[in-house]
Amino acid sequence: MYFRFTLFNVITLCVMAATVVMAIKRFQLRLDTNWPLLYYALLVIYARSFQYSLNDYWLFTGVACGLILRFEFLGGIFEKTFRAVELAVFAYVLWRCLGLILLWW
């Protein structure tokens, strides 16, 4: 295990940093803010730029949760469920990016 300083690794580290910031800010900001949607747009661009870096099912599950939370379709237990799913997506992105940087398969 080692870290090679390449453009891909630097971009992946930026994605990891954005994921950590978004996971923290998701509970500090109001639900109707547009920052999570911008984060997911950048995450989709990252996933399309580097094919097979992130699983599409996890990615679009996060996008769907972000949209549902943004437009507040549900409340109560359903809102907490979607927040938990979104946190699972954040954890997946962090774990997968760490695996990409450290060349895990």
pTM: 0.91
3-state helix, strand, coil in the chain (%, to 5): 75, 0, 25
Per DSSP, the chain holds a count of helices (H) and strands (E) of 4, 0
| Tens digit of pLDDT at every position of the chain (105 positions) | 667 889 999 999 999 999 999 999 998 988 889 999 999 999 999 999 999 999 999 999 999 999 999 988 778 899 899 999 999 999 999 999 999 998 887
Report how far residue 59's alpha carbon sits from residue 57's, in angstroms, rounded to the nearest whole number: 5
